[in-house]
Amino acid sequence: MAILVTGGTGYIGSHTVVDLLNNGYDVAIVDNLCNSKLEVLNRIYKITSKTPRFYQVDCTNEEAMREVFKKEKITDIIHFAGLKSVGESVKYPELYQFNNVGSSKILLKLMNEFDVKNLVFSSSATVYGIPDHVPLTEDDPVGGCTNPYGQTKLDIEFLLKDYAEQHKEANIAILRYFNPIGAHKSGLIGEDPQGIPNNLMPYVTQVAVHKLNHLNIWGDDYPTIDGTGVRDYIHVLDLASGHLAALRKLSEKPGLVIYNLGTGKGTSVLELVHAFEKANNITIPYVIGPRRDGDVAENYADVSKAEREMGWKAIFNVEDACRDSWNWQSHNPCGYDE
């Protein structure tokens, strides 16, 4: 009786796999390693003393995926696998459609074929497009995605809704993540972006480790507390536990459910930088630059539905995440490439 975790060697996947193993779940990972390293499996073993079964398979390869479904007795799937770079998606929109939407179609086909009823899907707050108010609830309108990556998440959400309509026995949890940061307390696993990071926290940690000179803050003239962009930063360990909560929810056979996974609290870029400096006693030099295309002033979640219906809420704060991100980065200055 296995949980199939696609993208399980990636950033959020690896933290979730650790949580699953520590809670006695039997785990099989499928990942093509296009954005992660095999070393992650060694690190997972160091933390949990367990090794999940691993298939180096591309989720867009239907035949290879079918072989995995034949070998494993899958009860639930957590579908993390996907490409996630906003800039790359603007350059290669077809690749993002093929990889993200294509792999999800194949998974649904195989779920039907092998009678797997439960699926948890990694969606994103990006599906809310440019919000006209915060905090965002799950009932707020979706659409108006500012990039092809975001559009793939929305397309997959629609696919899942159609599937759930046609398969009344299916239970699907769409989890809309806000901004994941932080790392495992051991410092053994964490976020390992390729090239120069686009996201704020990995950029800050690479400045701290002197791989980058200074942080560029994209805009300080937003109508926010200090003019810089406000986001809902959620510790990756809280995000991981949100997946276990979703699996428990699916066991109640709820049909299709949607939850925001965030903290419900907005933090500005400058607040995050100062929290990092205070937590780690490190100065982060920064330069104020122009606004970044596609950015919104404020984005944070109303998280009351996840708490009400799944009994889940985030327990770590931004300071905890700053400490843990630095613990990971300082012990692994080159990520998994030591």
Residues at the interface with ligand NAD (CB under 6 A): 7, 9-13, 30-36, 58-60, 80-84, 99, 103, 122, 124, 177, 180
231, interface contact from ligand UD1, ligand NAD, none, CB < 5-8 Å by kind:
ligand UD1
264, interface contact from ligand UD1, ligand NAD, none, CB < 5-8 Å by kind:
none
Fill in the per-residue mask, 43 to 82: x = in contact with ligand UD1 (CB under 6 A), - = not in contact: ----------------------------------------
- Give the DSSP per-residue string, 65-93: HHHHHHHS-EEEEEE------HHHHHH-H
Min CB(283)–ligand NAD separation in Å: 26
What value, to the nearest 5°, has the Cα angle with vertex 206 and ends 203 and 212? 90
Closest CB to ligand NAD: residue number = 10
Q: Is the CB of 92 or the CB of 288 nearer to ligand NAD?
A: 92
Q: Verify binding: residue 333, ligand UD1, rule CB under 6 A.
A: no
Burial letters for 170-182: b for 16+ Cβ neighbours within 10 Å, e otherwise? bbbbbbbbbbbbb
225, interface contact from ligand NAD, ligand UD1, none, CB < 5-8 Å by kind:
none
Q: Which long-range contacts (CB under 8 A, 24 or more apart) does 37-46 make?
A: 37/9, 37/192, 37/335, 37/336, 37/337, 38/9, 39/336, 40/9, 40/14, 40/189, 40/336, 41/9, 43/14, 43/188, 43/189, 43/336, 44/14, 44/17, 44/18, 44/189, 46/186, 46/188
89 close to 148: Cβ distance less than 8 angstroms: yes
216, interface contact from ligand NAD, ligand UD1, none, CB < 5-8 Å by kind:
ligand UD1
Count residues binding ligand UD1 (CB under 6 A). Answer: 20
Select from 229, 242, 264, 266 the one that contacts ligand UD1 (CB under 6 A).
229
Is 38 in a helix, a strand, or coil? coil
Q: Is the CB of 137 or the CB of 216 nearer to ligand UD1?
A: 216
Number of neighbours of residue 292 by Cβ within 10 angstroms: 13
Closest CA to 335 of 36, 88, 30: 36
- Provide φ and ψ at 15, rounded to 5°: -65, -35
Min CB(106)–ligand NAD separation in Å: 9
- Provide φ and ψ at 118, rounded to 5°: -115, 130
Min CB(73)–ligand UD1 separation in Å: 33
198, interface contact from ligand UD1, ligand NAD, none, CB < 5-8 Å by kind:
ligand UD1
Instruction: Kindly list the distances between the CA atom of residue 42 and the CA atoms of 18, 37, 47, 325, in Å, as whole numbers in the listed order.
Output: 12, 10, 9, 20
Biggest CA-to-CA distance, the chain: 55
Site residues for ligand UD1, 90-129, by CB under 6 A, read 124, 126
Q: Is the CB of 143 or the CB of 285 nearer to ligand NAD?
A: 143
**Residue 149 bears catalytic tag:** yes
Fill in the per-residue mask, 165 to 204: x = in contact with ligand UD1 (CB under 6 A), - = not in contact: --------------x------------------xxx--x-
What the block records as the tokens of 65 is 């995926």
Closest CB to ligand UD1: residue number = 229
Instruction: Provide the pairing of β-strand 298-299 with 230-231.
Output: parallel
Rounded CA-CA distance 27/17 in Å is: 7
Query: Catalytic pick from 11, 96, 149, 163?
Result: 149
Q: Is the CB of 46 or the CB of 292 nearer to ligand UD1?
A: 292
Min CB(102)–ligand NAD separation in Å: 8
295, interface contact from ligand NAD, ligand UD1, none, CB < 5-8 Å by kind:
ligand UD1
Contacts with ligand UD1 by CB under 6 A lie at: 84, 86, 124, 126, 150, 179, 198-200, 203, 215-218, 229, 231, 269, 292, 294-295
Q: Give the catalytic positions in this structure.
A: 149
